[in-house]
């Protein structure tokens, strides 16, 4: 397989497809290749959208690929858009790989519809924050698989999660590819197992598309590093142990969710891959030169900004709480993230003061992760609070407190977002490049799994 030729073949995309556009494209592909593909409804979302499984017939090995595990992550949907057509059109590639491929283009279409306000641009951090939605942990399809660990017991999988469970049980995939993405930074990977033959390829692929590896702080302090920018997939038990070790009295109350598709599929020996990629990057995301800050101080500064954001939001939440009338996914998300944020950051504050590796000079990449990237992610939470209040007003709520807090929240979002953008040397990444990295990493992994079996 000529992976670099496949990289060169990735077409340009100017915008992200909406949910309805994805449905139409999938049905057109099935109509174009009725003998090669199978399309069936395998479940229904909470708001009534059909969940369709597209199968491309092939060899004995089974690959299951699903997009939109978090609904603010449509890059994987575009990857499926390209990969499904490529597999149908390229018989030689399909036969060489030797898999039967199964795809769900967007597993949480309900949540994805709440993100469509930014799908067509403009692609700026502030516009993304204005239209951003990410569910509470207990509303996340990827993190509501059943789990029982110490004091944590979760057995309330969402309908979409139950659909994934049924498909995994039926297919017993050799390769499970959950198509996540981040928002700001560089490219990094999670795998279920060490896979040394893939590391060089994983490190090389981003450069084919003029993207950087993310060599700053890992997504969570307790991530196990296999190689630079390559980590073992995070398990709920890891999160629990980290909170327990860093002073959280009841980690189960802070987690308030289940485990992931990787944990669930491990019963079948599935190899699991995640390729995290951003919408925006900055030259500092992989700058390994030393800064003038200690890593510990950079981490604390990022935590302070996040706390300040949440303190402001909680103060205004108390001003409007009695007047709120709607119970929406956005409202649930705001309340849940405010509840979880403080306890998680308290654990990180304890960790940062005791971990030996934080008492050293920080790289420029680590400073960027903490001082600029973390505040950006908190801006997204603030965007949801602003949307929550705007939804109340749009629904006819005439509360003066809500109107005043909404006006203040909008002003804060625009001011902080604009100020942050002046501190960033950011670019909006070409969708083609993002699709290319996920496609090439996935195909390389499929070949690696086949070689082992």
For residue 93, what is the domain's CATH number? 3.40.630.10
Contact present, 305 and 376 (Cβ < 8 Å): no
| pLDDT tens-place string over residues 408-449 | 999 999 999 999 999 999 999 999 999 999 999 999 999 999
Domains: count for the chain: 2
Q: Please tell me what DSSP assigns to residue 425.
A: -
Residue 350 belongs to domain spanning = 285-425
234 shares its domain with 345: no
| pLDDT tens-place string over residues 248-265 | 999 999 998 999 999 999
27 shares its domain with 112: yes
57 shares its domain with 132: yes
CA triplet 432, 437, 439: central angle to 5 degrees? 90
- Distances in Å between the Cα of 232 and the Cα atoms of 193, 211, 259, 365, 415 are 7, 22, 15, 21, 38
Q: What is the pTM of this model?
A: 0.96
- The reported pLDDT for the residue numbered 276 is 97
Share of the chain above pLDDT 90, in %: 97
225 shares its domain with 355: no
96 shares its domain with 8: yes
- The reported pLDDT for the residue numbered 271 is 98
- Over range 17-41, report the average pLDDT: 98
173 shares its domain with 193: yes
φ/ψ of residue 141, rounded to 5? -60, -45
Q: Tokens at residue 100, please?
A: 């039967």
68 shares its domain with 182: yes
| pLDDT tens-place string over residues 173-208 | 999 999 999 999 999 999 999 999 999 999 999 999
- The reported pLDDT for the residue numbered 342 is 81
The alpha carbon dihedral of 130, 136, 139, 145 has a sign of positive
- The reported pLDDT for the residue numbered 186 is 94
Separation of alpha carbons 66 and 79, rounded Å: 10
- The reported pLDDT for the residue numbered 172 is 98
128 shares its domain with 162: yes
CB-count burial class (<10 Å; 0-12, 13-18, 19+) for 391: middle
Contact present, 379 and 413 (Cβ < 8 Å): yes
Residues 6 or more apart in contact with residue 168 via CB below 8 angstroms: 64, 176, 261, 264, 265, 268, 270
- The reported pLDDT for the residue numbered 341 is 87
* 3 state SS of 208: helix
287: alpha, beta or left, given left = phi > 0 and alpha = psi -120 to 50? beta
- The reported pLDDT for the residue numbered 256 is 87
- Over range 363-372, report the average pLDDT: 96
- Residue 3 pLDDT > 90: yes
- Residue 126 pLDDT > 90: yes
210: alpha, beta or left, given left = phi > 0 and alpha = psi -120 to 50? left
- Over range 292-302, report the average pLDDT: 97
Share of the chain above pLDDT 70, in %: 100
Contact present, 51 and 45 (Cβ < 8 Å): yes
434 shares its domain with 413: no
Across the chain, what does the average pLDDT equal?
Answer: 97
55 shares its domain with 182: yes
- The reported pLDDT for the residue numbered 317 is 97
Separation of alpha carbons 34 and 46, rounded Å: 29
- Residue 373 pLDDT > 90: yes
- The reported pLDDT for the residue numbered 453 is 75
- Residue 295 pLDDT > 80: yes
Separation of alpha carbons 431 and 419, rounded Å: 26
- Over range 365-371, report the average pLDDT: 96
- Over range 121-131, report the average pLDDT: 98
238 shares its domain with 301: no
- The reported pLDDT for the residue numbered 358 is 97
| pLDDT tens-place string over residues 73-123 | 999 999 999 999 999 999 999 999 999 999 999 999 999 999 999 999 999
Contact present, 101 and 29 (Cβ < 8 Å): no
Angle in degrees, 0-180, between the axes of helices 374-394 and 400-423, rounded to the nearest 10: 150
Q: Which of 440, 424, 447, 335 is nearest to 82 (CA)?
A: 440
- The reported pLDDT for the residue numbered 123 is 98
- Residue 18 pLDDT > 80: yes
DSSP letters, 61-130, are EEEEEEE-SSTT--HHHHHHHHHHHHHHH-HHHHHHHTEEEEEES-TTHHHHHTTGGGTTS---HHHHHH
Q: Number of C-alpha atoms within 13 angstroms, CB side, residue 262?
A: 19
Separation of alpha carbons 425 and 415, rounded Å: 18
156 shares its domain with 55: yes
């Amino acid at each position: 397989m000529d992976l670099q030729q496949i990289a060169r073949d990735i077409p340009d995309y100017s915008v992200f497809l909406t949910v309805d556009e994805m449905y139409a494209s999938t049905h057109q592909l099935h109509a174009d290749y009725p003998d090669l593909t199978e399309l069936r409804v395998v479940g229904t979302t909470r708001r009534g959208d059909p969940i369709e499984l597209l199968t491309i017939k092939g060899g004995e090995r089974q690959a299951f690929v699903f997009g939109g595990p978090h609904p603010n992550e449509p890059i994987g949907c575009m990857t499926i858009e390209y990969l499904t057509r490529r597999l149908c059109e390229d018989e030689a590639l399909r036969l060489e790989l030797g898999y039967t491929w199964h795809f769900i283009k967007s597993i949480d279409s309900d949540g994805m519809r709440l993100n469509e306000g930014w799908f067509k641009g403009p692609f700026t951090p502030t516009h993304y924050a204005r239209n951003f939605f990410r569910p509470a942990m207990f509303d996340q399809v990827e993190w509501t698989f059943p789990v029982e660990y110490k004091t944590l017991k979760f057995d309330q999988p969402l309908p979409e999660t139950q659909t994934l469970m049924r498909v995994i049980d039926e297919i017993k995939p050799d390769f499970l590819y959950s198509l996540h993405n981040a928002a700001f930074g560089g490219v990094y990977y999670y795998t279920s197992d060490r896979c040394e033959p893939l590391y060089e390829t994983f490190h090389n692929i981003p450069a084919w598309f003029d993207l950087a590896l993310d060599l700053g702080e890992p997504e969570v302090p307790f991530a196990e590093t296999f190689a630079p920018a390559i980590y073992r997939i995070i398990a709920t038990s890891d999160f629990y142990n980290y909170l327990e070790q860093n002073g959280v009295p009841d980690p189960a109350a802070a987690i308030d969710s289940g485990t992931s598709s990787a944990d669930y599929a491990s019963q079948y020996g599935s190899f699991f891959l995640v390729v995290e990629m951003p919408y925006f990057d900055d030259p500092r995301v992989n700058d390994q030169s030393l800064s003038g800050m200690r890593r510990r101080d950079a981490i604390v500064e990022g935590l302070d900004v996040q706390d300040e954001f949440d303190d402001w939001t909680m103060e205004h939440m108390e001003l409007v709480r009695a007047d709120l009338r709607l119970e929406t996914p956005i409202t649930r998300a705001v309340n849940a993230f405010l509840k979880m944020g403080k306890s998680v950051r308290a654990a990180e504050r304890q960790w940062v003061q005791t971990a030996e590796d934080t008492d050293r000079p920080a790289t420029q990449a680590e400073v960027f992760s903490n001082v600029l990237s973390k505040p950006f992610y908190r801006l997204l939470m603030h965007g949801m609070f602003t949307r929550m209040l705007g939804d109340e007003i749009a629904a006819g709520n005439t509360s003066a407190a809500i109107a005043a807090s909404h006006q203040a929240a909008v002003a804060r979002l625009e001011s902080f977002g604009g100020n942050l953008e002046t501190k960033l040397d950011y670019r909006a990444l070409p969708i083609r490049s993002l699709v290319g990295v996920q496609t090439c990493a996935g195909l390389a992994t499929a070949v690696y799994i086949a070689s082992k079996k």
